[in-house]
Amino acid sequence: MPDATGPAANGPPAAAWRVQLPHTTAAVPIARALIRTALTDLDLAPEAADRPDRDTAELLTAELVANAVEHTAGRGPIELVVELLATPGGCQIEVHDSEPARPGELVCPDPGAEVDPWQEHGRGLLLIRALSSDCGHRPTAQGKAVWFTLPGIPAQRTRS
């Protein structure tokens, strides 16, 4: 999934899903549940050694979907695209909306700049930058896609 601000994840997807969500706040818990289910199913697969962190994936997906609902006109649904990556493990998640405008600042902020603790907006993209291994956005035929990648974390080994 190439974008306007950085490279796509390496390796072919092991599995991929595309789900249309309503352009309402109800899309946020639906997206969280879909991510939780997809990554829980991955945990149950014995051949999957490296898995992305479910809690982080849910949180960042919720941020992207909430931004798409709040900052775009209600023209058409929001699309959630999930790719589980075979190599090197992990996942890439995209949220598509109908608004072509850039999604704020997904590039790393100036390290010397302080974050205003009283600011009501802008923390979602900060979380995405801080917790993902890569993130960005790209134009689509219908608007834009905003994405993030999470690395695979080695599965816990059990003692015999």
First to last CA, the chain: 41
* 67 neighbors 139 (Cβ within 8 angstroms): no
| β-pair partners for 80 | 19, 95
Task: Give the residues of the chain that fall short of pLDDT 70.
Answer: 1-14, 42-49, 87-88, 104-122, 155-160
Q: pLDDT for 109-147, tens place per residue?
A: 555 666 666 656 667 888 898 999 999 999 999 999 999
Each domain of the chain, given as residue ranges in start order, spans 13-110+120-154
Matching CATH number, 13-110+120-154, of 3.30.1330.10, 1.10.260.40, 1.20.58.2050, 3.30.565.10: 3.30.565.10
Model-level pTM greater than 0.75? Answer: yes
